[in-house]
Amino acid sequence: MEFESDLNLKATELRLGLPGRDESEEQSSSCVKKNKRSSSEMDSSSEHQESGPSAPKAQVVGWPPVRSYRKNVLQQQKKPESDGSGMFVKVSMDGAPYLRKIDLKCYKNYFDLLKALENMFKCTIGVYSEREGYNGSEYAPTYEDKDGDWMLVGDVPWDMFITSCKRLRIMKGSEAKGLGCL
Amino acid sequence: MDPDQSEDSPSNSANSHGPTQPQSPFPDEVLEKVLSFIDSRKDRSSVSLVRKDWYNAERWTRSKLFIGNCYSVSPEIVARRFPRIKSVTLKGKPRFSDFNMLPRDWGANVHSWLVMFAKVYPFLEELRLKRMTVTDESLELLAKSFPRFKALTLSSCDGFSDNGLKAIASHCRNLTELDIQDSVTDDVGGGWLSCFPENFASLEVLNFSSLNCEVSFDDLERLVGRCKSLRVLKVNDSITLDQLRRLLVHAPQLMELGTGSFMQELTPRQYEDIESAFSNCRNLQVLSGLWEATSLYLPVLYGACASLTFLNLSDVALQSSEFAKLLVHCPNLRRLWVIDTVEDKGLEALGSSCPLLEELRVFPSDPYDRHHRDGVTELGFLAVSRGCRKLRYVLYFCRRMTNAAVVTIVQNCPDFTHFRLCIMTPGQPDYLTNEPMDEAFAAVVKTCTKLKRLSVSGLLTDLTFEYIGKYAKNLETLSVAFAGSSDWGMQCVLEGCPKLRKLEIRDCPFGNAALLSGREKYEMMRSLWMSSCNVTMKGCRLLAREMPRLNVEVIKDEGNDDGQADRVYVYRSVAGPRRDAPPFVLTL
C-alpha cells in the first residue's frame, strides 16, 4: 500500500473536507520524529510534518504503516500548466452551506472538471448530451458567463468555456431542465 | 524444531558421531522415490529429522527451497545440503522496511546467492524474491546462467533498472512468468518490454503494474497476441482504456487482469467496444488497477465480474455509490482490497452483496489526516461482519473504534486467521467509553482460536498482552505499536505464544528485562524487531553474549544517547554475523 506526500501539488489540491477550511499554502517540513531519528539515513520520501492552522498532528516515521510508493489517490488531476496565474472560480452546490473554489486551469477538459466536481461534492453529475443536457442526472453543472447569463456546462468548446466562465453552480437536476439548448 | 529452518540443524549433525543406525528396511532409491512426492516444507523438515538416511534422502529429493530470512543461512551452507534445487524463494528485509524504517543500503542483496546458484543449480527454474535488493548486474547474471529459467517474481524489491529487465527479456528463452509486484525503482524505462524476441511466446504471467515507465504499446500488443497461454496480465497506468481493449481482444482467456488507466474520454462506440471486450473475458477471477476509474466508466466492467473472486480497488478512490453498484455484479467475491473513500456506507453494501467474502483490506486515503476525511469507522466493519460471516482475513485502517464493536465483530466472524486493526492515531482509546482497547483484543484472541496473525493498535495496557499470551495459542505473527505499559506485557507474549515466529514492536515501553526474557524463544522464531523502545546497548550486548546462535543487530540513530538501542533486529542464524553489514548496522 503506498501513498506519497503530496507536498508539491498542495496549491492545486482539491481537499475533500468541510468547505471553507483553509490550510496554509506553504508546507513547513520540520520533521517531528520520535526519538530524534536522523533523516539523513532515511529514504527521501519519508513523511514530512505539516503544520497548518488546524491542530498540527505530529507525524511519526513509518506511521500509519502504509506504503509510500503509489500516487496519492486523492490527487488524480493532471498537473496544472506552468503559467502559474490560475483561474479560480467559485463553485456552489444547491443545498451545501459553503462554497468552494477551484482552479479551472487544473483541468484539460470537461470530463476532468466534472469528475473533480463529483469527487468534491460527492454527487453524481452524469453524462452530458447536446440534446438533453444532463437530464436524468441527480445534478447538473451550470455556469455564469461573462455576460451574466447562466449556461449549461458542456455546450461550448472547453477553451471557450474556461475563458468565459465566471462562477459555477451545481443545480439540482430537476431545476436544471429549462437550461438545455433549445 | 521450527519447520521454516532449511539449514543444517545442530541436532542433525550430531548423528554422524552417534551409534551406528540400524539398517533401513528401504533401499535409498525407494526412500527417495517416496520422498519426492512430499511438497510441504513442514513435512520435509520433519522427514529430515527421523534418521540420517532419511535426512540424506530428503536433501537429495528437495527441489524447492524456501528461506524466510536470507541472513539466517549462507549460500554455501545451502549449496552443501541441497544439491538439486529448481525453485528458490528468498526473503530479505524485515517488514518494517516497507514503511521507511530501515535505511537504504541496509542489505539483503541477492547477488551472492545468485553467484552460488549459478555454480550449483544450473537447472534453476524459479526465483521468487521478496524485499531484496536486486541489481542489474544480478539480473544479468540470472539471465545468462540458467538456460531453463522460467519464473521470476520480484516482490517489494529494489535496486534494478531497465537494463536488468532487458537482460531477462532478451535471454530467458523459456520464461513463463515475469512478476514485478510492488517493486519500485527510480530508473526504469519501458524499453525492456521490447526486448522479448519476436518468436518468444511462452509467457503465462506478466505483471509490471507498479513500474513507472512507458512501454511500447505495439510491442506489448504483439507480445500478448503471441502468448496464447497468457493467464495473468497486469499493466501499468501508461496503458489507456482503448489500448486495454485491444489487449483484451487478444487475450480473452485471461484469469487475472490489472488494467491501466481507466480515465479516457471515449466515444459511445468505443464505450460499447470495450464493454464487449470485457464481457468476453469469461474466466476473469482477479481484477486490479483501475487507476482513476469513475462512475462513468466502471460499468464497462460489469460483464466480466461474474466469476471475480479477488477485486483489488486499492489504486482507485471510489465513492460509496459507484462502489455499491459495482459490487452488485460481483457476488462471488472472496477477497476485496479497497480505499476508505467508500466509507461505512460502501461497506454496508459490501455486507449485502458479497456473502462469500473471506478477506477485506481497507486502506486509508488520507493517512496523515491532512484532509480530515471520515474514512471508515467501527460501523462499516460491523456491517461487513454481519453480512460476511466467512471473513477470515482483515486489514482495517480507521480513525475510531470501540471495544463493543470488535466484540460483536468477532462473534459474527469467529474464524479470523488474520486480524490487523490499525487505529491511526497512536494510543487512541475507545472513542465512546474512553477506555483502553484491551477488551477488544481480548475478544479477538479468545474467540478466534485459529488466529495466526494479529496487529494491535489504539490505547493498550499490559492487559492486552496478558490476554494474547493466555489465549493466542496459534499466533505466529504479532505487530505492536505505541502500546503496553511495562516489560510484563512483552514477557506475557514471549512466554505464552508457543507458535510465535515473528514479533515486530515499535514505540512501546518494553526494555531489557522484556528483551532478555525471550532469549531462548528467539531461537524458535524467525525474527524480532524492536524500535524506539526502552532497550539499551547493554541489554542487547547481554543478549548477544548469552545466545551465540542469534544475530543481534542494532541500528543507531545519529545524535542519540549512546546507550540507547534505537532499532534492534534479532534473528537466529547458522551463518554467523553478517559479512555484508553496512557501517550503521552494529552486530553485537
Domain boundaries, chain A: 88-177
CA of A138 vs chain B CAs: smallest distance (Å): 13
Of A2, A16, A59, the CB nearest to B371: A16
CATH number of the structural domain spanning residue B49: 1.20.1280.50
Tally of domains in chain B: 1
- Partners of residue B568 on adjacent β-strands: B530, B554
Assess B221–A contact: CB distance below 8 Å, yes or no: no
Residues in chain A with CB shorter than 8 Å from the CB of B365 are 3, 73-74
Assess B583–A contact: CB distance below 8 Å, yes or no: no
pLDDT tens by residue, B535-556: 999 999 999 999 999 999 999 8
Is residue B38 one of the residues assigned to a domain? yes
pLDDT tens by residue, A93-113: 888 888 888 888 888 888 889
Domain A88-177 part of CATH 3.30.428.10: no
Which of the four pLDDT bands, split at 50, 70 and 90, describes residue A37?
Answer: very low
Q: Which residue would you say has higher pLDDT here, A159 or A54? A: A159
Is residue B206 one of the residues assigned to a domain? no
pLDDT value at residue A61: 85
Q: Residue A72 pLDDT more than 80?
A: no
Is residue B51 one of the residues assigned to a domain? yes
| Long-range Cβ contacts of B335-338 (<8 Å, 24+ apart) | B335/B309, B335/B310, B335/B311, B335/B359, B335/B360, B335/B393, B336/B310, B336/B311, B336/B312, B336/B360, B336/B361, B337/B311, B337/B312, B337/B313, B337/B361, B337/B363, B338/B313, B338/B314, B338/B362, B338/B363
CA B213 from centroid of its chain's CA atoms? 24
CA of A148 vs chain B CAs: smallest distance (Å): 30
Q: Do the chains contact at B184 and A73, CB–CB below 8 Å?
A: no
Task: Please provide the DSSP assignment of B320-349 as one string.
Answer: HHHHHHHHTT-TT--EEEEEGGGHHHHHHH
Q: Do the chains contact at A62 and B101, CB–CB below 8 Å?
A: yes
The burial class, CB within 10 Å (0-12 / 13-18 / 19+), for B152 is buried
Of B99, B369, B564, the CB nearest to A57: B369
Residues in chain A with CB shorter than 8 Å from the CB of B292 are 76
The pLDDT averaged over each successive group of 10 residues in chain B (588 residues) is 42 46 72 85 86 87 94 96 95 94 92 97 97 96 97 95 95 96 79 95 96 93 97 95 95 96 86 94 96 88 95 94 96 97 96 97 88 88 98 97 98 98 95 97 98 98 97 98 97 97 97 96 96 94 95 84 88 94 88
Q: Which residues contact B19 (CB under 8 A, 6 or more apart)?
A: none
Query: How many Cβ atoms are within 10 Å of B119's Cβ, its own excluded?
Result: 11
Residues 59-88 of A with CB under 8 A from B: 59-71, 73-74, 76
CA of B370 vs chain A CAs: smallest distance (Å): 8
**Nearest of B227, B229, B304, B225 to residue B259 by alpha carbon:** B304
pLDDT value at residue A68: 73
d(CA B388, CA B352): 8
pLDDT value at residue B29: 82
pLDDT value at residue A150: 87
Q: Which 3 state secondary structure label does DSSP give A144? A: strand
pLDDT value at residue B519: 94
Assess A22–B contact: CB distance below 8 Å, yes or no: no
CA of A91 vs chain B CAs: smallest distance (Å): 19
CB B125 within 8 A of CB B151: yes
Place of cell 527510480: B186
Beta strands in A48-129 (DSSP E): 88-93, 100-103
Q: Which domain holds residue B54?
A: 26-62
Is residue B48 one of the residues assigned to a domain? yes
CA of A182 vs chain B CAs: smallest distance (Å): 23
pTM: 0.78
Is residue B528 one of the residues assigned to a domain? no
Is residue B43 one of the residues assigned to a domain? yes
| Mean pLDDT, chain A, integer | 66
Is residue B49 one of the residues assigned to a domain? yes
pLDDT value at residue B4: 43
Of B369, B557, B584, the CB nearest to A35: B557
Is residue B54 one of the residues assigned to a domain? yes
Please compute the mean of the pLDDT values over residues A131-145 and round it to a whole number. Answer: 83
**Nearest of B465, B456, B521 to residue B492 by alpha carbon:** B465
Rounded CA Rg of chain B: 25
Hey, what amino acid is at A137?
A: S
- Which H or E run includes B496? helix B487-496
Q: Do the chains contact at B368 and A122, CB–CB below 8 Å?
A: no
CB B370 within 8 A of CB B394: no
Cis preceding-peptide flag for A19 (omega within 30 of 0): no
pLDDT value at residue B19: 54
Q: Residue A64 pLDDT more than 60?
A: yes
- Closest chain B residue to A66, measured at CA: B99
What are the φ and ψ backbone dihedral angles of B481, each rounded to 5 degrees?
A: -145, 135
Residues in chain B with CB shorter than 8 Å from the CB of A41 are 103-104, 557-558, 584
pLDDT tens by residue, B65-96: 999 999 999 999 999 999 999 999 999 999 99
Q: Do the chains contact at A69 and B182, CB–CB below 8 Å?
A: yes
